[in-house]
Structure 1
Amino acid sequence: MLENSSDQNLSRRQWLLKMPLAILGSFAATHTFAQFGNHKSILHHQIDLNSESNIYNVKSFGAKGDGRVLETNAIQAAIDTCFKNGGGTVLIPAGIYLCGSIELKSNLIFHLSSGAVILGSTNANDYHAVDAVPLSGDTTLRDGNWALFYATNAKNLVIEGNGTIDGQGASFHKSENGSSSQNVLWGEKRPHHFLGYHCESIKIKDVSFINCAYHSLRIIQSSRIDIQGVYIHSRVNVNNDGFHFISCKHVAISNSTVLCQDDACAFFGSCEAITVTNSTFSTRWSVFRFGGGKTKNITVSNCLLTKVYGCPIKFQGSPGSSLENASFSNLIFDDVTGPIYIACGFNPKDPNFDVRPGYPDTAKKAEVIVRNISFHNISGTVLSSPGQLPDLIGSVRVYPGEEFSCITLSSADNAIMDNISLTDINLTFGGGGSKEAGERRELPQSGGQYFSMGTMPAYALFVRSVNGLTLNNVKFNFFHDDERPAMIFDQVMDACIENVSLEAHINANSAIRIINCKDMLISSPRLTSSTITFLQVEGSENQNIRITGGDFSKSEIPIDMARGANATMIRRD
């Protein structure tokens, strides 16, 4: 009985709200809130994952798990039933399950038990296109809409467990004569491991994805994506991307390993609010790849990039695109080429510029913006030429411009590159560059692929047309002799270069070359080897270049003026 008689006329809803939580919990264990008409609690809608009624074992729907019988229908039936009943867990017990295209749905936990292997069929008839995913309009959607697993317009989807999804991607090659058999998918029809489109709240945890025919995890125009402890190993087919996101928001990747052939972690379209941490990457192409849209608010930290025979960090500035507010910190580069390439702008005379189909002519003149990008605490080794990954099926040709690469920050045309910083950088380069390469003056004015620049004229750092540049506590040297300058600054404005240590070859024209730069402070530089000239200043447009302190006593000529430069442009304290 209620203590206060005035409470006797309370409604059931009011009465429940006044009850202590402990009593309410006891009451909820024996009653359902459906008894109280339309007054339903959120608790009534939550899924009890410990209840067998919410677990859908695929073997209860006819799956055998023997690796011989096609299990597509059985697994799909379990998923459909789970979805129809409001959600729950679809359980894949230990075993081998051969299947084709499967649709995952909302409020679903797809659990792969230890010892469970999903084996992608090698029969083209077992797959189909995901018609909800368009292949026209946005050119970043051109890379196929076929998948082993897919989800469209789904919410609250989890793919988890210590099991494996094997795409058997080696079976999706063209034949030796260049044609494909009727039973083999090729080009855009190769299935991705997982294709998500217009989804919200996706979690992928602890699953191994191996041997994909195309991209492993391809997620488009989706938000709230959490990827933890994922292992990807796909080097059996061309375009074996690891993570591939298009116009996604709120993406978190952690504690994962990606060994792939193409882009390991690609962000196309307009991606934002991205974090990548505590992960390992290896690839024949790029690791962190940006381009094609307006991307912002990115942090990458505590990652190992090993055997990256392409470019660890790459932004290819297509017309109308941008990259803003991005931080790359606490990274190890272990035997990489590239190693950082940010280029934007367009020059129609450059045949190497990758103009993607679908861009209108006016877009070629659209502005490209790169702003507020920082690189901090990066160390390791940079090779002079890409190697071949030992587990890669087939070989990949080395483009001429991939050899003797360096950190490149280059804008051209009407592109804007503003506020770039490199701090606490310690890199050793392979060396081998020639004096002739170091004397190059004409480089392509484009935002094309990193190898479109050809052999770089600097062995460590090339910067062109940047406004607002900071270098602090940077050390560059090489394994073998390299006759190119360590650093070249071309048309750079407002630069602060502090505590830089450089190795330079005795035959190099200079350790540093400055071309038509303005408002530049070089503080406490240090030359670690003997060379003829420490700093060469070129061009008639240099203004307000100041050098304070430092030790470049190992050079015969501290400062040399050339090609129209004169002593009034520079001040040495």
Structure 2
Amino acid sequence: MLFMGAFAMLLFTDVKADSRLINKLDIWDIWTYNYNASHWIEQANLHAGTQMYGDAPQITISSLPATLEGADWIQTAYGSKAFSQSKLATFELAGDADVFIVHNRKIDKKPDWLKSYNKLSEKVENSTGEIFDVYKRSFKRNDKVSLGSNGSMDHSMYSVAVKPIGNPPALPKPTGKIYDIVKFGAKGDNQTVNTVAIQKAIDACTADGGGSVYIHDGIYVTGTLELKDNVTLFVQAGSILRASSNHADYPQKICAFKYYRGNEHYQLIYAEGKKNIGITGGGIIDGFSHGDNWPWRGKSNEHERPRLIRMVQCTAVNVRDITLIRPANWTQLYEACDNVKLINVRVRAYTGQHNQDGIDISSCNGVEVKNFYAMTGDDAICLKAMSQKPTENIFVDGVVARYANCNAVKIGTETHGDVKNVHVKNVVANTRYSIAIEAVDGSNIDGVTYENILLTSCSSPLFIRAGDRGRTYEGGPKKAPVGSIKNVTIRNVRNTDIGYVDMRNGPGVGAAIGGIPDSKIENLLIEDCDFLFYGSIQDTTLIYTAPPENRDKYPEFNIYGTCPAYGLYLRHVDNVTLKNVSIRSKNPDVRPAIVMDDVDKYNFSNLNCEEFPMTQPAPIWHKQKDNPKRVK
């Protein structure tokens, strides 16, 4: 096994983001149905009158000592007061700095982590009349600051402020031609809707041959913005570009390119048919979606809710050093684009709203994703092909998914065009579901490698499915043909824990790797892997009863219900190799570790399959063999 215990800590050494002093904010207050982490927002210019918590707009800071005025700060989540574990959040310092903790005075027993801070005589008061004491500790440049629990869930959450010691580090600034949105009339007061002013700056920039549209020193509210040729949107660290909560500020952007979901016309940042465009600066773009009930409501209504970023048929797209938070739909969609770089992008997108994917890449050619940090309400990274244009040459290197409410990495489901040459490596994820490869709408998936993946929790460590849902789109085939999956490598994948599946067939689902009789999965290599499953099933009928094919069903890891194997269920597969693979169960289980059903040409070597006294008929079983002996 080749697992690198330290690689996750090395992924983000080049990230330039957050604020002048606050870098690499990481929050652990996130799990299923817990949305607090996405409401932590690092920013500049702490001042009286500002909203104290990201998830409680009714609570503001009413008085603030001069010591803290103008500080960089972290607007925490009010709900994080209930977090009880030792490590709540961390961040790194871009320069020598004093870190201040604004902590509720009514909490008599202070948490242990706060004891290293010195209590000052100053106080902070909020609009509900609560008083907070101020604690200070000095740190050096590049120090990592660890934050612990509030110490009480009965009193309001603390806040964090940071001020420089000596000269502060320089903020990143755009180079070349600069188009300052303030000079076009924009106001960073978190109230004025600046759509017209910012769009004027974009239009002037492209008319002059290109440059950077400069967003700085404030929180700028806007509706839909359309990027143009040779324009980079530069949101400076410490500043926020915030989406308006008024649907009227989002005119429909109807694209000419035909693809599935082409009729979803609302976006915050939009571009079609443009070249040499980018988003950068180290700041934050905030979709301002607080949850399923406000301001964007509904499920299965993606056509009504704006995506944060949508680019269609664009060339030379460069999105880097930016934090994207609280989208009302997918965070970012790149459709039919060529030469796309997504570098050092951080996404916090789990607020209870539906469809909060981290990155969606569809029908693109030549995409590099590097150093991606995410917490998402849906898939962290999702590769699709929603038109007949193939998705090809996709390279993903370095992903930390603090939490993905669906899959950490997924190909599918909307794969109408082919998918070719995909390489995903160096992933650490806490995922509710799995890592997945799916072809059910006509795509031919050929040449996929997933390697060096560590899942700290999941429902199933692997899911591969070729099916025949046959869904199509306007301008596409009348019915999508049956697709295929071949030449797939799963290498050095490990999960250290497995969750009790609170939905989708309960515990012990197993890992489904299945085609259909007329479209077998071909040439599958699984090597150097260590899989842990939940197990716990004692019903022997599940072993000998063939699950329904479900060839036209939505592909999910429970496509067969509870599998005949506690581990790998290989069905309709041609030429599979398992090499140096360990399969274990968290709980005793009656089923085999591996069951093969309509599997041709298999080659197994150096397998370690856990078995139990009640295991039947064998730890590894081919269902079409008359004598169910152990497979060598």
Q: Same fold (TM over 0.5)?
A: yes
Distance apart, 1:63 and its partner CA: 1.1
Indicate conservation of the 8 Å contact 1:461/1:488, yes or no.
yes
Aligned residues: percent identity? 24
Q: Which of 430, 436, 459 is equivalent to 1:313? A: 436
CA distance in 1, matches of 2:627, 2:479: 36
The equivalent of 1:92 in structure 2 is 215
Deviations 1:146-192 (CA, angstroms, capped at 9, x unpaired): 1111111110111001100110112664799x889xxxx95412111
1:288-367 alignment runs, 5 A limit:
288-291=409-412, 292=415, 293-306=417-430, 308-315=431-438, 317-346=439-468, 355=471, 363=479, 366-367=481-482
Indicate conservation of the 8 Å contact 2:470/2:482, yes or no.
no
Indicate conservation of the 8 Å contact 1:322/1:368, yes or no.
yes
CA distance in 1, matches of 2:174, 2:453: 39
The equivalent of 2:562 in structure 1 is 455
The answer to whether 1:508 aligns with 2:615 is: yes
Tell me the amino acid that sits aligned with residue 231 of structure 2. L
Distance apart, 1:198 and its partner CA: 0.9
CA distance in 2, matches of 1:168, 1:120: 6
CA distance in 2, matches of 1:108, 1:444: 52
Gaps of 5+ in 2: 1-172
- What is the number of residues matched between the two proteins? 447
CA RMSD of aligned residues (A): 2.6
SS at match of 1:442: coil
The equivalent of 2:288 in structure 1 is 168
CA distance in 1, matches of 2:286, 2:457: 28
TM-score normalized by structure 2?
0.67
Distance apart, 1:241 and its partner CA: 1.1
Tell me the amino acid that sits aligned with residue 418 of structure 1. E
SS at match of 1:491: strand
Q: Judging changes above 3 Å, is the alpha-carbon distance between structure 1 residues 197 and 254 closer, same or farther for their aligned structure 2 residues?
A: same
Distance apart, 1:335 and its partner CA: 0.6
Indicate conservation of the 8 Å contact 1:227/1:253, yes or no.
yes
CA distance in 1, matches of 2:174, 2:308: 26
CA distance in 2, matches of 1:507, 1:405: 18
Q: Judging changes above 3 Å, is the alpha-carbon distance between structure 1 residues 290 and 151 closer, same or farther for their aligned structure 2 residues?
A: same
The equivalent of 2:84 in structure 1 is none
Indicate conservation of the 8 Å contact 2:441/2:472, yes or no.
no
CA distance in 2, matches of 1:219, 1:175: 25
Q: Judging changes above 3 Å, is the alpha-carbon distance between structure 1 residues 121 and 327 closer, same or farther for their aligned structure 2 residues?
A: same
1:58-73 alignment runs, 5 A limit:
58-73=181-196
The equivalent of 2:39 in structure 1 is none
CA distance in 2, matches of 1:179, 1:301: 35
CA distance in 1, matches of 2:475, 2:566: 35
Q: Judging changes above 3 Å, is the alpha-carbon distance between structure 1 residues 427 and 460 closer, same or farther for their aligned structure 2 residues?
A: same
CA distance in 2, matches of 1:275, 1:460: 29
The equivalent of 2:577 in structure 1 is 470
Q: Judging changes above 3 Å, is the alpha-carbon distance between structure 1 residues 190 and 374 closer, same or farther for their aligned structure 2 residues?
A: same
Q: Which of 394, 403, 406 is equivalent to 2:510? A: 406
Indicate conservation of the 8 Å contact 1:55/1:89, yes or no.
yes
Deviations 1:179-208 (CA, angstroms, capped at 9, x unpaired): 89xxxx954121111110110010110111
SS at match of 2:427: strand
The answer to whether 1:130 aligns with 2:253 is: yes
Indicate conservation of the 8 Å contact 1:430/1:480, yes or no.
yes
Q: Judging changes above 3 Å, is the alpha-carbon distance between structure 1 residues 437 and 455 closer, same or farther for their aligned structure 2 residues?
A: farther
SS at match of 1:83: helix
Q: Which of 337, 346, 370 is equivalent to 1:222? A: 337
Q: Judging changes above 3 Å, is the alpha-carbon distance between structure 1 residues 179 and 482 closer, same or farther for their aligned structure 2 residues?
A: closer
The equivalent of 1:74 in structure 2 is 197
Deviations 1:521-563 (CA, angstroms, capped at 9, x unpaired): xxxxxxxxxxxxxxx845xxxxxxxxxxxxxxxxxxxx37xxx
Distance apart, 1:235 and its partner CA: 1.2
Indicate conservation of the 8 Å contact 1:381/1:430, yes or no.
no
CA distance in 2, matches of 1:265, 1:206: 18
Q: Judging changes above 3 Å, is the alpha-carbon distance between structure 1 residues 318 and 151 closer, same or farther for their aligned structure 2 residues?
A: same
CA distance in 2, matches of 1:411, 1:216: 31
Q: Judging changes above 3 Å, is the alpha-carbon distance between structure 1 residues 154 and 179 closer, same or farther for their aligned structure 2 residues?
A: closer
Deviations 1:487-509 (CA, angstroms, capped at 9, x unpaired): 00112111110000111121121
The equivalent of 1:556 in structure 2 is none
Q: Judging changes above 3 Å, is the alpha-carbon distance between structure 1 residues 460 and 496 closer, same or farther for their aligned structure 2 residues?
A: same
Distance apart, 1:362 and its partner CA: 7.0
Deviations 1:216-244 (CA, angstroms, capped at 9, x unpaired): 11111111110011011111210111111
Distance apart, 1:280 and its partner CA: 1.2
1 or 2, which has the higher helix percentage? Answer: 1
Distance apart, 1:339 and its partner CA: 2.3
CA distance in 2, matches of 1:225, 1:498: 40
Larger radius of gyration: 1
Q: Judging changes above 3 Å, is the alpha-carbon distance between structure 1 residues 246 and 131 closer, same or farther for their aligned structure 2 residues?
A: same
SS at match of 1:240: coil
The answer to whether 1:272 aligns with 2:392 is: yes
Indicate conservation of the 8 Å contact 2:174/2:214, yes or no.
no
SS at match of 1:59: helix
Distance apart, 1:262 and its partner CA: 1.3
CA distance in 2, matches of 1:223, 1:241: 21
The equivalent of 2:269 in structure 1 is 149
The equivalent of 1:549 in structure 2 is none
The equivalent of 1:488 in structure 2 is 595
CA distance in 1, matches of 2:550, 2:443: 14
Q: Judging changes above 3 Å, is the alpha-carbon distance between structure 1 residues 87 and 174 closer, same or farther for their aligned structure 2 residues?
A: closer
CA distance in 1, matches of 2:198, 2:544: 61
Distance apart, 1:420 and its partner CA: 0.3
SS at match of 2:546: coil
Distance apart, 1:106 and its partner CA: 1.1
Deviations 1:353-409 (CA, angstroms, capped at 9, x unpaired): 585676999736x3321111001111123525346xxxxxxxxxx222x64232322
Deviations 1:125-152 (CA, angstroms, capped at 9, x unpaired): 1111111256xx533535x221111111
Q: Which has the higher contact order (CA 8 A, sep 6+)?
A: 2
Indicate conservation of the 8 Å contact 1:435/1:507, yes or no.
no
Gaps of 5+ in 1: 1-47, 347-352, 388-397, 518-535, 539-558, 561-569
